[in-house]
Amino acid sequence: MGMQDREWYRQEQREKRQKSESRPPLPLENPKKSPRLNLTTPIFLVLASAMLAAILWL
């Protein structure tokens, strides 16, 4: 794993953190309002963990 990969990964994490901080907290009590989120969240988690595994594998 090269230094560029590590730096890129850190930058990605920083951007994600900033986005999630600037976004207002989602109301978890009302899942009927946003069914799309309930579908995309597990998919996103799987993709993120797969990316992390690929980065660690290199």
- Segment (H or E) for 52: helix 35-57
Q: What is the pLDDT of residue 44?
A: 83
Print pLDDT tens along the chain (58 aa). 567 777 887 888 877 776 665 655 555 555 565 555 556 677 788 888 999 999 998 7
Decide: 56 and 2 in contact? Cβ < 8 Å. no
* Residue ranges of domains in the chain: 1-8+34-58
Q: What is the pLDDT of residue 45?
A: 85
